[in-house]
Amino acid sequence: MVLTLQLAIILICLFYGARKGGVALGLLGGIGVVLLTFAFGLPPGKPPVDVMLTIVAVVAASATLQASGGLDVLLQMAEKLLRRNPKYVSILAPFTTCGLTMLCGTGHVVYTMLPIIYDVAIKNGIRPERPMAASSIASQMGIIASPVSVAVVSLVAFLAKAPEGAPIIDFVTLLSITIPSTLVGVLMIGIFSWFRGKDLDKDEEFQALIKDPEARKNVYGDSISLLGQKLSTHQWTAMWIFVGAIVVVALLGAFPALRPLVAGKPLSMVLVIQMFMLMAGALIIIFTKTNPAEIGKNEVFRAGMIAVVAVFGVAWMADTVFEANLPLIKASLSDIVKLYPWTFAIALLLVSKLVNSQAAAIAAMVPLGLSIGVPPGYIVAFAAACYGYYILPTYPSDLATIQFDRSGTTKIGKYVINHSFILPGLIGVTSSCVAGWLLAASRGLV
């Protein structure tokens, strides 16, 4: 009964914090910790300091890339690919947004691509819903496949504390499963999107819309493009510094012998990521004359700092309950999880929707999963399930997609749940989890 009340406090804080949005999710975690400590007498848990510091380092580097203009280089490359292959935009666009997320560590890069994707689709008679909804979903799926995303660095840090005897899943092993499984999911989304919905010339609603000359002008509009912009040497330099740092981190993860020994063991990859991301940001400032004052003002930095607060509050609150009640939780759930490990994926998916954050879902569920005996291999295999906030169309990227689609084909249905993103999301995440399980099984991790 007492545990039920404590879990109810967590759920209330998560639900209310998610509804308020922004940093509220993390701050509500503070209320939870106070109630659990002072009202129930539980010893406060341990906030994931390593995870939070890693997030700060990665976000600082990514925000510096955006402030330097280096992000425009990647966006311009993506646009060239789409405009040269307009017939295949329904498949190429989601791969493009997913790839940008994997490089930059945040799905917020999709906002710049959405008007370009719309322009390519509508000017070539392709139903905009097809590539646009797929691109919004794919941009979020790329987070769990990005070596510099908050979710991945959080997962690496938590897996490093797996119980003794469990298979060691390092940075490279994790990405060797999440990257291909994510790409499989994105491919399935693209194939589905190729055929979804009516063609524009057979869509009665669309045809009725463009009968009005003003509406037609608005629907087709002027072309939006980055191709005419001449990018400076400083922007290219910033991009190469950032990408180079990612490559170096990947190599150090793949070859532990390249890392210095600390207490007889190769330097922790968590520390390696922190060091090289901070260094990448510093080198961008030094060699591109980026104004440091602009770094803290952009969307990447703002979203990243919100993630830090969210992970802080959510993980601290959850750890307080789980550590204090670990024997009881193990007795209640361990048998179910051992018999049906896939139930962890469902729980992770639902928590993700509740908190609207992959990193926060991982912070809440992965330590619990490890403590009750979920094998680390299953956690990695089903890592894609940390993206569940497409279930309801409330996430900013989905709402932005609806606004950018002036044709009205990307929309929220009459019953809310029947919106343009639900099927691509379910298909993408399910396919990724199946592919992840197969890859993990082939490696002997499950």
pLDDT of residue 357: 79
Residue where the block lists tokens 């600082």: 60
pLDDT, tens digit, 9 for 90 and up, residues 207-263: 999 898 888 888 887 766 667 778 889 999 999 998 898 888 878 877 778 889 888
pLDDT of residue 21: 62
User: Exposed, middle or buried by CB within 10 Å (0-12, 13-18, 19+), for 259?
Assistant: middle
Q: What's the confidence (pLDDT) of residue 280?
A: 93
The residue type found at 217 is K
pLDDT at 247: 85
| Phi, psi (rounded to 5 degrees) for 211 | -65, -30
CB–CB of 410/128 below 8 Å?
Answer: yes
What integer pLDDT is reported at residue 332 of this predicted model? 67
pLDDT at site 22:
65
Q: Please give the pLDDT value at position 312.
A: 85
pLDDT at 50: 76
Residue ranges per domain, the chain? 2-442
Measured between alpha carbons, how far is 168 from 185 in angstroms, rounded to an integer?
25
* SS3 of residue 262 by DSSP: strand
Cα–Cα distance between 149 and 144 in angstroms, integer? 7
Neighbouring C-beta atoms of residue 92, cutoff 10 Å: 21
Taking 50 as the pLDDT cut, the residues of the chain under it are none
